[in-house]
Structure 1
Amino acid sequence: MGIKVRLTFMNFLQFFVWGAWLISLGGYMIVTLKFTGGQVGSIYATMGIASLFMPALMGIIADKWVNAERVFGMSHIIGAVLLFLASQATDFGSMYIIMLGISLFYMPTIALDNTVSYSILEQKGYDIIKDFPPIRVWGTIGFITAMWVIDFAGWTVSPMQLYVSSGASLFLGVYAFTMPKCRPGNTTKGGSFITALGLDALVLFKQRKMTIFFIFSLLLGAALQITNTFGEPFLHDFAGKFPDAFAVKHPGILMSISQMSETLFILTIPFFLKKFGIKKVMLMSMFAWVFRFGLFG
């Protein structure tokens, strides 16, 4: 099997693990476990908490001491165990702690997936800019596939979605150990802890344009997270009035339109950047987001 095919499979599984529960877990917790909206929101917030520091810490470990593919693999194996435990949880306290653990070990794997892919492509003499995007697109396809599997199987409000994610995560964790070695690339000592965590980049906020960009990105990200959390529960609420509606029967498929459009437009980015430039492309994307959420509302 060629290395690009292997990396494609790795990226597919990376986001299959996430897609199996990210969009549908909110519906499961509200409809089946009877959690409140506030409780569900706080559970989803664990991803933000974990993202503040875990990717940087795991990155330091992979950069200085342990092969990146091993850190990646172990994170997924631990995540698989936690996902299985989450499928057994029925109270808010247990689910919150377990989902926090899942976030702590899954969120760093997004960056580690890129690190492993870049490292291996470089080792094999490939052009990262040219060869990685088609590989990464299969990550989004994996996310969509997982959503469709869960939806067609009727598991959108069932703990089975967590079993599926757990199995995929375990398989990916073991598979990662078969990938070519990605040895630590920076074993030199020196540099502050602030630099190691990347916090010195905060100096960029002295630039007005960067500050504005960050604020808009923050607000758009918040809107996206709200959709991920409460999109399917919102559609499930129509079951009483419209039990035969497609959106009620297959909320996962309807929500996956977002990821399908992402796949399409990722492939068109080079064309739009060349024709309109980065500023106009970003402006168009922001208007598209506003239009999307307006339709959803």
Structure 2
Amino acid sequence: MGLKTRLIAMNFLQFFVWGAWLISLGGYMIVTLNFTGVQVGSIFSTMGVASLFMPAIMGIISDRFFNAERVLGVCHIFAALLLLAASKITDYPTLYIIMLFNSMLYMPTIALANTVSYNALERKGFNIVKSFPPIRVWGTIGFIAAMWIVDFLGWTKNANQLYVAGGAGILLGLYAFTMPKRPPLKIRDARSLANSVGLDAFVLFRNKKMAVFFTVSMFLGAALQITNLFGGAFLDDFKTMYPHSFGVQHPNLLLSISQISETLFILTIPFFLQKFGIKKVMLLSIFAWVLRFSLFGIGNPGNGLYLLVFSMIVYGMAFDFFNISGSLFVERESDPKIRASAQGLFMIMTNGLGAFFGGILSGWVVDYFTTNGVRDWQSIWFSFSGYALVLAVIFPIIFKYKHIKEDIVE
């Protein structure tokens, strides 16, 4: 088996594990376990908590002490065992603790998988910039495949989805040990803790433009997982009104259109950045979030299915134009000496602090608009849409940036 094929398999499984439960677990917890919105939001916020420090810690361990592919394998195996344990749990406190430890082990594997891939490609003389994206896209395909499998098997509202994720995680953990070796770096080349978590990039906050950008990124990061948290439960609540509709029968298939859209919008980023610059691209992303939530508010799985499908398509722009374009902007605006740290800081602000507060506050909103177990989804989605709209109004006023077309290179 060729190197690229092996890396494709690794990336496929990396996100297959996540896709098996990330989109449907919220519905399982609300519908089957009868958890509150705050409880569901807090469990999802564990990914934000873990993203604050665990990628840095595991990065240092792989930089200084153990081979990266071995750290990757160990993390996946123990994370998978925790998912299998979670499948037996029905009470909130225990499930929260298990999912917190799972997040602490899984979230670092995203960066570790990239490290293993980059190292293997570089050692074989491949151009990473050209060779890795076609490999990484199979991660998104793996995510979608897992969603579809769980959906077709009818496991979106039960714990079997965790068995799928756990089984795939153990397989990936064992497979990781067979990947090309990436030994610890020499001490002088290894990154420090401050560098890994982005602490030395805090100097960027002295620049008003970057301070505004990172702050807005945190607030916008709060919106990233909201539809993942509550999309399944939202569709399930139409089971009485539209019991035979596609969205109710196959919620994961409908929601997976979002990931398909994401893979397509990635390809448009170079054009939009070159044509309009980061400020307008970010503004497009924010308005896309406004539209994303609004379409959920007025759509339904019956005669409003087309509105939900449109919302799934819009998601690609909302997610990619913020996450990918924002990362590229940070790379361009940062001093080469602190670029790795700057990317770490961007992750902390979005997937760390943003995801944490987004999970907690979105759960509070859902509970606020829930009466006797009945959720007012229109008010819920419009609240999220209004939140994004406020960001859309504030962002262009406070973010001062003049786009110079020649500065952006495809």
* TM-score (normalised: structure 2): 0.69
Change (3 A) 1:191 1:269: closer
CA shift at 1:296, angstroms?
Answer: 2.0
Which residue in 1 is equivalent to 2:157?
157
Which residue in 2 is equivalent to 1:282?
282
Which residue in 2 is equivalent to 1:28?
28
Which residue in 2 is equivalent to 1:295?
295
SS in 2 for 1:282: helix
RMSD value over aligned CA atoms? 1.8
State whether structure 2 residue 116 is matched by structure 1 residue 116. yes
Q: How does 1:154-233 map to 2 (within 5 A)?
A: 154-188=154-188, 193-233=193-233
Report how many aligned residue pairs link the two structures. Answer: 297
- CA distance in 2: counterparts of 1:190 and 1:27, whole angstroms: 42
CA shift at 1:197, angstroms?
Answer: 3.4
2:135 corresponds to which letter in structure 1? Answer: I
CA shift at 1:228, angstroms?
Answer: 1.1
The answer to which of 267-276 and 56-65 deviates more is 267-276
CA shift at 1:92, angstroms?
Answer: 0.9
State whether structure 2 residue 87 is matched by structure 1 residue 54. no
> Is contact 1:137–1:266 with CA below 8 Å preserved after alignment?
no
Which residue in 2 is equivalent to 1:72?
72
CA shift at 1:18, angstroms?
Answer: 0.2
- CA distance in 1: counterparts of 2:191 and 2:185, whole angstroms: 15
Which residue in 2 is equivalent to 1:143?
143
> Is contact 2:11–2:138 with CA below 8 Å preserved after alignment?
yes
1:178-223 Cα distance to aligned partner (Å, 9 max, x none): 0010111242399864345331111212222222222332222211
The answer to which of 112-121 and 262-271 deviates more is 262-271
2:115 corresponds to which letter in structure 1? Answer: T
2:118 corresponds to which letter in structure 1? Answer: Y
SS in 2 for 1:239: coil
2:76 corresponds to which letter in structure 1? Answer: H
1:225-283 Cα distance to aligned partner (Å, 9 max, x none): 22111111111111122211211111111111111101111233334444444444333
Which residue in 2 is equivalent to 1:254?
254
SS in 1 for 2:154: coil
1:117 corresponds to which letter in structure 2? Answer: S
Which residue in 2 is equivalent to 1:2?
2
SS in 1 for 2:87: helix
1:101 corresponds to which letter in structure 2? Answer: F
2:169 corresponds to which letter in structure 1? Answer: S
> Is contact 1:77–1:174 with CA below 8 Å preserved after alignment?
yes
* Sequence identity (%): 67
> Is contact 2:121–2:127 with CA below 8 Å preserved after alignment?
yes
State whether structure 2 residue 39 is matched by structure 1 residue 39. yes
- CA distance in 2: counterparts of 1:229 and 1:64, whole angstroms: 36
> Is contact 1:121–1:128 with CA below 8 Å preserved after alignment?
yes
SS in 2 for 1:181: coil
> Is contact 2:63–2:191 with CA below 8 Å preserved after alignment?
no
Which residue in 1 is equivalent to 2:103?
103
1:176 corresponds to which letter in structure 2? Answer: A
> Is contact 1:51–1:104 with CA below 8 Å preserved after alignment?
yes
2:35 corresponds to which letter in structure 1? Answer: F
Change (3 A) 1:251 1:191: closer
1:113-148 Cα distance to aligned partner (Å, 9 max, x none): 111111111111011111111111111111111111
- CA distance in 2: counterparts of 1:147 and 1:191, whole angstroms: 36
- Structure 1 gaps, min length 5: none
- CA distance in 1: counterparts of 2:112 and 2:131, whole angstroms: 18
Change (3 A) 1:20 1:196: closer
Change (3 A) 1:108 1:190: closer
SS in 1 for 2:61: helix
Change (3 A) 1:193 1:16: closer
- CA distance in 1: counterparts of 2:118 and 2:20, whole angstroms: 26
* TM-score (normalised: structure 1): 0.95
1:234 corresponds to which letter in structure 2? Answer: F
1:10-56 Cα distance to aligned partner (Å, 9 max, x none): 11100000000001001111111111111111111111111110000
2:44 corresponds to which letter in structure 1? Answer: Y
> Is contact 1:24–1:252 with CA below 8 Å preserved after alignment?
yes
- Structure 2 gaps, min length 5: 298-410
- CA distance in 2: counterparts of 1:257 and 1:235, whole angstroms: 15
Change (3 A) 1:202 1:230: same
Q: Comparing both chains, which one has the higher relative contact order based on Cα–Cα distances under 8 Å and sequence gaps of 6 or more?
A: 1
CA shift at 1:163, angstroms?
Answer: 0.1
SS in 2 for 1:88: coil
